[in-house]
């Protein structure tokens, strides 16, 4: 005959766990830019959420460069990017009348230069 043995299970008590500093840190949004080949500009490829810039660089590398798509990787906080407003656009892109030196007609091309 088998004896009926009852095992005592440990009693679980509710205790407050200490939160790590990483869990309490603020997570920020970072924008990711990649340069695919030499001579090309960096292009925006996406965003990552991270605790700091080094963590964002690691996450961006793991997410966007896992197949070797790029040569260079830039990560910047999204709060550091500023876009122009509609009111500013006209003053940014209209030609400045007092800067005549920017016009090509004021430059003399030497005869030695044949392929310009």
Question: Which DSSP string do the residues of 10-25 spell out, in sequence order?
Answer: PPP---PPPPPHHHHS
Express each pLDDT in 61-76 by its tens digit: 999 988 777 889 999 9
Helices in 8-73 by DSSP H: which ranges? 21-24, 53-64
Q: What backbone torsions phi and psi does residue 41 show, to the nearest 5 degrees?
A: -85, 160
Find, among 64, 62, 59, the residue nearest to 48 by Cα.
59
Q: Which residue has the higher pLDDT, 110 or 116?
A: 110
CA distance 38 to 70: 10
Kindly state the percentage of the chain with pLDDT values over 90. Answer: 34
pTM: predicted TM-score of the whole model, two decimal places: 0.57
- Quick check: 64 and 34 in contact, CB under 8 A? yes
What is the C-alpha to C-alpha distance for residues 30 and 51, in angstroms, rounded to an integer?
A: 10
Q: Is the pLDDT of residue 15 over 90?
A: no
């Amino acid at each position: 005959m088998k004896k009926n043995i009852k095992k005592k299970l440990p009693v679980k008590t509710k205790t407050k766990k200490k939160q790590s500093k990483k869990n309490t840190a603020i997570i920020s949004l970072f924008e990711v830019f990649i340069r695919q080949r030499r001579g090309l500009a960096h292009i925006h490829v996406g965003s990552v959420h991270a605790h700091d810039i080094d963590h964002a660089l690691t996450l961006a590398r793991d997410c966007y460069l896992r197949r070797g798509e790029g040569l260079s990787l830039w990560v910047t906080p999204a709060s550091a990017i500023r876009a122009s407003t509609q009111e500013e656009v006209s003053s940014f892109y209209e030609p400045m009348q007092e800067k005549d030196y920017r016009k090509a007609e004021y430059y003399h091309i030497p005869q030695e230069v044949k392929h310009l």
